[in-house]
A and B are shown apart, each in its own frame.
Chain A
């Protein structure tokens, strides 16, 4: 049984679906956590404290990294197989078929944008927080405490180019999830003609919720640097 997850197309798809589902659940949690930063810097930093270099936070990070790795590795594997199955000669004339979303045909491209954004994000935050703690330092190269996430957010999103890059990143994730969420349910076998419109609607809602939750934090902190009066009513 163990090997149908590697040697059967439907098994491989199931791995894609389950790893995708895991990432969606994680990202929903991450998004909820971020929104806290708008309301209270202390509460946000308390969460950062929990998720510092404790054993459970590290275990969580490891599982997460594994999840991303599996999803990423399978994505490339499947896409490579699919290109081979398509053959060397392509159609001279192609169209977008009725009811087919652009995202559904470009999941790998969107995923690669997501992973590039993730690398940038890890360099901005993980390398200045958990990693600093792991190395036993009490201050990162910005002169901030590694558990002062709120200050790091403020610093990162005071730069317009970071805001722009993050928004592009979120947009790619949004597109990836508008297809990904219902596709993962279809792969797991949970779909029928009655449910398609509903599942696609749910996908749109989940993707938009995630996009909105992340974007609002980035934009809010940027606006604070442009218009300091906002800082007074914020954190």
Chain B
């Protein structure tokens, strides 16, 4: 298959970037999107040009490092997958594909398609953990957790922290990510204890870092590779408002 790629090139955080066109030819339909970029970079290196910088690590949809905005969609046009899980067969032969970095004030571009997502780490560090002593792994039946709660917690815990939610949101809001973390811990007994403190601390950090105010468009859940539901945002709202009213 042959493709024309329109890729955002930017030397470093300070420089102004621009789109540049590249051709990739004779790639197999079973090539993954990132492998296709590897092939392009191989060509560029052979030609003595600067390869395209892009983030990736596991290449199996679990680490949350890959982050491309492809043809208007975070993680490409397919549903429920990360960028590393898409394949060239999902595109039309001969297509022009536009590849951009995440665009959000809190995720500044470092180089080409790589953005700095440490804002999400800072939000996590503000409260996305359990600080009570849980000791060694307890017996499986020692702490009974209703199946529905465990399921909801696990669904929220599927978040890989990729940043697609804030990158997609027209308000640059990080609510889906924060909600997923708050929700997954709030639904379990060990996490429940610190629920109020966690919600307040994470929301305060999110605001401090300049993320926007959610207007419930739902664009984040449509583009989230882990299909995190905005129902978790409703729970975050409850957790936060209840905590504030108790203050």
Of the residues B168, B211, B241, B247, contact of A189 by C-beta under 8 Å:
B241
Q: A10-B241, A95-B73, A97-B223 are in contact. Are A86 and B229 (CB under 8 A)?
A: no
Q: A11-B244, A95-B72, A98-B222 are in contact. Are A189 and B238 (CB under 8 A)?
A: yes
Q: Return chain A residues, CB-CB under 8 Å to B71.
A: 93, 95
Cα separation A107 to B217 with both chains bound (whole Å): 10
Could you list 7 further interchain pairs (A-B, Cβ under 8 angstroms) beyond the known A87-B105, A107-B215? A8-B244, A9-B207, A84-B212, A91-B72, A92-B98, A190-B234, A191-B231
Number of interface residues of B (CB under 8 A): 51
In which size bucket is the chain A interface?
35 or more
Contact string against B for A residues 184-198, beta-carbon threshold 8 Å, 1 for contact and 0 otherwise: 001111111100100
Q: Return chain B residues, CB-CB under 8 Å to A87.
A: 103-105, 172
Q: Which residue of A lies closest to B98 (CB)?
A: A93
A89 within 8 A of B: yes
Q: Indicate if the CB atoms of A89 and B234 lie closer than 8 Å.
A: no
Q: Indicate if the CB atoms of A12 and B105 lie closer than 8 Å.
A: no
Cα separation A186 to B169 with both chains bound (whole Å): 17
Cα separation A99 to B6 with both chains bound (whole Å): 28
A105 within 8 A of B: yes
B210 within 8 A of A: yes
Q: Indicate if the CB atoms of A91 and B210 lie closer than 8 Å.
A: no
Q: Indicate if the CB atoms of B212 and A81 lie closer than 8 Å.
A: yes
Q: A1-B244, A89-B103, A193-B229 are in contact. Are A187 and B218 (CB under 8 A)?
A: no
Cα separation A12 to B244 with both chains bound (whole Å): 13
Cα separation A191 to B71 with both chains bound (whole Å): 32
Which residues in window 200-236 of B have CB below 8 A to A?
203-204, 206-207, 210-219, 221-223, 229-231, 233-236
Cα separation A179 to B216 with both chains bound (whole Å): 9
Q: A14-B241, A186-B230 are in contact. Are A94 and B103 (CB under 8 A)?
A: no
Q: Indicate if the CB atoms of B105 and A84 lie closer than 8 Å.
A: yes
Offer 15 A-B interface pairs, CB within 8 angstroms, sorted by A. A78-B213, A81-B212, A82-B215, A84-B105, A86-B103, A86-B169, A89-B103, A92-B6, A92-B100, A97-B219, A101-B217, A186-B237, A187-B237, A189-B238, A191-B231
A13 within 8 A of B: yes
Q: Indicate if the CB atoms of A85 and B203 lie closer than 8 Å.
A: no
